Structure 1
Amino acid sequence: MSGKAKKRPDTKRPYVLIAVMLAMFIGAIEATIVATAMPAIIGDLGGFAHYSWVFSAYLLMNTITVLIYGKLSDLYGRKPVLTFGISIFLIGSLLCGLANSMKQLIIFRLIQGVGAGAVMPVATTIVGDIYTAEERAQVQGYLSSVWGISAIMGPAAGGLLVEYISWRWVFWVSIPLGILSVIGIWLFLHETIDKKKPKVDFVGAILLTTAISSLMIILVEGGVRISWGSPQAMGLAFMACSAFLLFLLHEKKSAEPMVPLEIWKIRPILIANVVSFTTGLMLIGISSFLPAYVQGVMEESATIAGFTLTAMSIGWPLASTAAGKLILKIGYRSTSVIGGVFLVLGGGLFVTIVPSAGPAGAALCSFCVGIGMGLTTTSFIVLIQGAVNWKRRGSTTAANMFMRNLGNTVGAALLGGILNSRLLQYFSEHGGHAGKNLTLDSTNMLLTEEQRSVLSGPVKSLMQEGLSFSLHSVYVAVFFFGIVSLIFILFLPKKSNAAA
């Protein structure tokens, strides 16, 4: 496809933008609406020990497929690839709402993740195609604000659906929106595809899948079901390292690599991708585990827990909208640095949070992180899309999304592993007679008011203190990744060499 694709008069840009924002909305709302509903899902289906797998399964497939979809969109065009991804996502959503066990839910989340891998990178790339370099900063600000708007609605909608209808509807609400998005894309986006024989890097996809899957199993189950020094752990670690090294070697020789390695030699893109990884770790640590803290330790309702995440979502669209203007005035580096400072501030506040701070304290922490996410994500998308031409824009955008998704995947596994191992440690060291029979799944009882009411005082206090102790460790890790993010941002060059 020619570089003039973005100026085609027959593409109705405002309507395409609306359709793209709808597609991004259903992908973005997935994070907060499911996190808000998870305590209720666990209360119904059981299986607290598999809590992080509900997120990890979705994120694993999302992370792996995002690079494949980015490459396919460069080969076949954006429209058919995005349509396919949304369709698979909606099928997975339907099945998730029908799940009757945690195992079923995890399998259906895998299907949902396969479709989700297409939504964010291809939708974002479409906007890079149809708008000029000067327009992208403002329009990408609108797209980034979708994360915030959806996350404002996600926790609120999730909490209300859980309390008044059923947790199953948190998966079904995206189905009509996804259908509308597909209709809009097909009616208003028009592409011309260069006829060429496509070459898809399936070997690279298999190697990357093996590496990420092995790493995720180690992080989630290490210290819980798999001893750190066991042959199983060593074997998985060896498999992950070997598969990743083979992936890099294969990508260097591949005619059509999943990840064009040369883009990693462009310093701003390298830094943007690394920071996307660390902020992905932060985001999943907050959105996945804050509802459990608010409901299990603070004893608030699912709706209140949802609104603590909403604070992050208020900060996100405000910062995203401001970022579009700031980038034009002070540049993407200064905008990113300001965002990095807010990430550190938010992470530090989470470390100091105590149950007596209440939902308002949790909301303040979330708001600061939301400001940081809005400023950095918008800056990075504008930066990387301006650094490459049309033929690489899909792959390059996907690479950035991949790093953020990889951060989410590793974060869900790593932080879930920290939560589980620290909780077991606390029960073992402080449980005494009351804690002898406590397991990870015992924590299910803290997440609903009905089950909390049947717990004896000492057991309830022990479980709440253990959950608070383990979640504190999670937030220490979130704070650490905030510091790492800011350090890398400081290495961004002061001037961009990006081309339109």
Structure 2
Amino acid sequence: MKKTNRPLVLAAVMLAMFIGAVEATIVSTAMPSISADLGGFAKYSWVFSSYLLMSTVTVLLYGKLSDIFGRKPIFAIGVLLFLFGSLLCGLADSMEVLIFYRFIQGIGAGAVLPIATTIVGDIYPAEERAKIQGYLSSVWGISAVTGPAIGGVLVATIGWEYVFWVNIPLGILALLGVMLFLVEPAKKSKPSIDYMGAFLLTVSLTAFLYWLVEGGVGFPWVSVQSAALCGGALIAFAFFILVERKAADPMMPFDIWRNRSILYANLVSLFTGIILIAVSSYLPTYVTGVMEQSATVAGFTLTAMSIGWPIASFFSGRLLIKFGYFKTSLAGGVFLVIGTLLFVFMEPGFGPLWAAMSSFFVGVGMGLTSTSFIVSIQAAVSYEQRGSATASNVFMRNLGSTIGVALLGSLLNSSLLKYFKEHNLDLNLNSVNELLTQKGREMIPAESMVYLQEALGGALHNVYAVTALFAGISFLLIFGLPRKKGVGADVE
């Protein structure tokens, strides 16, 4: 009988992780240039929100489908959709079109990270997972180190389109590696797909996301439209819970949440998702618009997070074996709090090195917590639930990022508008576009430049203050994790 070629499958999974790393860092680095080229700074956060919304909604469905039909076919569908969306994104000629293509890209992205991570949980025994997941997360981070730098170079030379197209050849190699060298056990279960649950969750998250992004900007927070969106989101989510409790094979099996390892790991991941998107989405904007640095320099400040992440992930496997999940996660929580507080105290005169240092500490915190959570969750469930359990953690982190980019984007926009109104300035959100490139800044009158930079700096300071608050919440939630040592399986 043919056996799985573990080294080649692991290499293919690492390439899949590279896609996720590049997507998170290169696009963030390129966004100031994309916004300056296509216009529409008011829709800046929607470029992230559209992608995150669909990847968040589909991750649970893909996790369940992989438990039913196997990892290979679902992984293939996700990667192909992601690559098709990447191709289209590079062809976008307006911000609205780019947002639509990002929806397509996000639909595919929902399969890449959770199934790649689940595959590693399948092919390695419990005692090896801590080390391998640490390596996997390290490679994800090491790959991301080159992302911001390459993104900055591509933007400065041949154009931002290539930050999307760079995914395509590596995605094809990852797909071939998994399809050719992964051997899965035969599936005996009868397919039962929770379409209604997927639909209701999509409706709920879409309404909630639109309310967060446009509230206070497109319509007043206290208005009929605001109440309709918020109420609709809550009603749809209530129906989602009812449907999941009655479904024969729910996309979100609530019984796995009774395990404390899964419950608290997922709750912490919700808030770390907010922290991650706050740094990756808005740090380049601060460095280019307020500190007046190039896209390349902004990319290197994000690279610092990508350096901290793999270093922490590499050591987390050893820390998990020696100290257990709780102490390793707690150390990660401390680094997240330190990193976010450094952002709060950041001033334009501190320069990009301060931004890079803050980013590095956040990366260390993410590396320690994410690796610990994945290993603990996969040890807490059987093979038949591993896809859903792993997907639940990725879902919560993605949900955090989805909520974060909407909430923080709304906070940013409303803070800018408030500043313009208080100072009686004839400026709007699109006026910020000119701040994001050297050429644009040269066209802004000196007096307007001062006001715009002060407005953007103050608005981003508000964003980082809220991010630090979420880091504090995540630190407190870590105390709910079980405090036993070791990384053995909890179930047979």
Q: What TM-score range do you get, normalising by the shorter chain?
A: over 0.9
2:103 is the alignment partner of 1:110: yes
In 2, Cα distance between equivalents of 1:145 and 1:107: 32
Q: What displacement does 1:445 show?
A: 0.3
CA contact (8 A) 1:29 1:151 kept: yes
Q: What displacement does 1:9 show?
A: 6.2
User: In the alignment, which of 363, 368, 375 is matched to residue 375 of structure 1?
Assistant: 368
- The CA deviation string for residues 431-457 of structure 1, in whole angstroms up to 9 with x for no partner, is x3xx12x10011000001111111111
User: In the alignment, which of 25, 31, 37 is matched to residue 38 of structure 1?
Assistant: 31
Instruction: Find the counterpart in structure 1 of residue 451 from structure 2.
Output: 462
Instruction: Find the counterpart in structure 2 of residue 225 from structure 1.
Output: 218
Q: How does 1:173-188 map to 2 (within 5 A)?
A: 173-188=166-181
Q: What displacement does 1:24 show?
A: 1.5
Q: What displacement does 1:149 show?
A: 1.5
User: In the alignment, which of 12, 19, 38 is matched to residue 12 of structure 2?
Assistant: 19
- The CA deviation string for residues 294-314 of structure 1, in whole angstroms up to 9 with x for no partner, is 000000000000000000111
2:468 is the alignment partner of 1:492: no
In 2, Cα distance between equivalents of 1:171 and 1:83: 19
Give the structure-1-normalised TM-score.
Answer: 0.97
For 2:473, the aligned partner's letter is: V
In 1, Cα distance between equivalents of 2:36 and 2:303: 23
Instruction: Find the counterpart in structure 2 of residue 122 from structure 1.
Output: 115
User: In the alignment, which of 448, 467, 473 is matched to residue 478 of structure 1?
Assistant: 467
Instruction: Find the counterpart in structure 2 of residue 48 from structure 1.
Output: 41
Q: How does 1:140-219 map to 2 (within 5 A)?
A: 140-219=133-212
Which deviates further from its counterpart, 8-17 or 233-242? Answer: 8-17
Q: Tell me, what secondary structure is at the counterpart of 1:367?
A: helix
- The CA deviation string for residues 69-108 of structure 1, in whole angstroms up to 9 with x for no partner, is 0000000000111011000000000000000011110000
In 2, Cα distance between equivalents of 1:214 and 1:182: 34
RMSD (Å), alpha carbons: 1.0
- The CA deviation string for residues 34-60 of structure 1, in whole angstroms up to 9 with x for no partner, is 000001101110000000000000000
In 2, Cα distance between equivalents of 1:466 and 1:194: 57
In 2, Cα distance between equivalents of 1:152 and 1:142: 15
User: In the alignment, which of 93, 98, 101 is matched to residue 86 of structure 2?
Assistant: 93
Q: How does 1:34-433 map to 2 (within 5 A)?
A: 34-430=27-423, 432=424
Structure 2: segments with no counterpart, 5+ residues: none
- The CA deviation string for residues 201-244 of structure 1, in whole angstroms up to 9 with x for no partner, is 00000110011001100110000011101100000010011111
Q: Tell me, what secondary structure is at the counterpart of 1:194?
A: coil
Q: What displacement does 1:151 show?
A: 2.1
Instruction: Find the counterpart in structure 2 of residue 3 from structure 1.
Output: none
CA contact (8 A) 1:29 1:147 kept: no
In 2, Cα distance between equivalents of 1:101 and 1:193: 46
CA contact (8 A) 2:152 2:295 kept: yes
- The CA deviation string for residues 237-270 of structure 1, in whole angstroms up to 9 with x for no partner, is 1001111111111111111001110111111110
For 2:49, the aligned partner's letter is: S
Equivalent residue pairs, number: 489
Q: What displacement does 1:150 show?
A: 2.7
In 2, Cα distance between equivalents of 1:145 and 1:244: 36
Q: What displacement does 1:28 show?
A: 2.2
Structure 1 runs (4+) deviating above 3 angstroms are none
For 2:390, the aligned partner's letter is: T
Give the structure-2-normalised TM-score.
Answer: 0.98
CA contact (8 A) 2:14 2:140 kept: no
In 2, Cα distance between equivalents of 1:31 and 1:416: 17
In percent, how many aligned pairs have the same letter? 59
In 2, Cα distance between equivalents of 1:226 and 1:141: 45
CA contact (8 A) 1:337 1:486 kept: yes
For 1:121, the aligned partner's letter is: P
In 2, Cα distance between equivalents of 1:468 and 1:203: 44
Q: Tell me, what secondary structure is at the counterpart of 1:490?
A: helix
User: In the alignment, which of 436, 442, 448 is matched to residue 447 of structure 1?
Assistant: 436
Q: Tell me, what secondary structure is at the counterpart of 2:216?
A: coil
